[in-house]
Amino acid sequence: MDAMVADGMQGGDAALLPSLRAGRPTAFAVLMRQNNQRLYRLARGILRDDAEAEDAVQEGYVRAFTGLDGFKGEASLATWLARIVANEALGRLRRRRPTVDIDDVAETLVADEGMAGLGPAEPSPEQASARQEIRRAIEAAVDRLPAAFRSVFILRAIEQMSIDETAACLGIPGETVKTRLHRANKLLRQALTRQFGTMFDGAFPFLGARCDRLVMRVLERLGLPAEASPTTPQGDRPAPSPP
């Protein structure tokens, strides 16, 4: 690894950016390894498909790296990449389901999977037990929501009413429906993360060979030589700063 890239790993975006603009393969690889798992989880959360999520991340990287002039430094490189990958994933979702309301997807806790059923139609006893445990946890968390948030969540996420229908039912503006649903989702995620935190930590892994494969594909599409550094055990975690 050359000195400029090594400095960039320690110095953040400002130090890494010159190496990226100079087209150094190792710099691209470092940035991808720092962000692969985070971006994969983001894309998969939108698309709910492993292979398509990986494709979305790869395409997002290529768009970002061939358009580095568009990075103005107003946000971090990680945030900039996340926006590009999210837009790519949402675009794929629109093409896959042309009638979907993207605003609803962004706002709604994934209730159609979480509430309507988990796993196959005829689950094993272990799967059935897991489904019941998760359902009870979700129901208990919903019950603990403040009444104003709970009513919006039930109508929007469980009954699948539109924003306008929910607003009409509750006699509140549509913007209030959006705000309350957003807050309800946040409270639910916090509650469920506390309960299932250790389970969530290992969800949708994107490390090892999968991380290597994505790095190599992006470098190949950019016409750059493969970087030689081994995969870091942390996958997408940045190198720690020196004490």
Instruction: Give the per-residue pLDDT at 231.
Output: 46
Q: What is the rounded average pLDDT of the residues 219-243?
A: 60
Residue keyed to tokens 């790519």: 88
Is residue 34 pLDDT above 90, yes or no?
Answer: yes
Residue 43 predicted with pLDDT over 70 = yes
Q: Residue 11: its pLDDT value, please? A: 56
Is residue 139 pLDDT above 50, yes or no?
yes
Tens digit of each residue's pLDDT (9 = 90 or more) over 90-128 = 888 778 754 434 344 434 443 333 333 333 446 667 667
Structural domains of the chain sorted by starting position, each given as residue range(s) with its CATH number in brackets:
3-101+204-221 (1.10.1740.10), 102-201 (1.10.10.10)
**What is the dihedral sign for C-alpha 55, 64, 76, 109?**
negative
Residue-wise pLDDT for 218-230, tens only, equals: 999 998 887 654 4
* Rounded CA separation 129/133 (Å): 6
Q: What pLDDT does 235 receive?
A: 44
Contact 164/158 with Cβ under 8 angstroms?
no
Residue-wise pLDDT for 173-202, tens only, equals 999 999 999 999 899 888 887 777 655 555
Give the pLDDT mean for 82-87: 86
Q: Is the pTM of this model over 0.75?
A: no
**CB of 129 closer than 8 Å to CB of 118:** no
pLDDT at residue 19 above 90? Answer: yes
Residue 160 CA: distances (Å) to CA of 51, 145, 151, 164, 216? 28, 18, 12, 12, 42
Average model confidence (pLDDT) across the chain = 75
Share of the chain above pLDDT 90, in %: 24
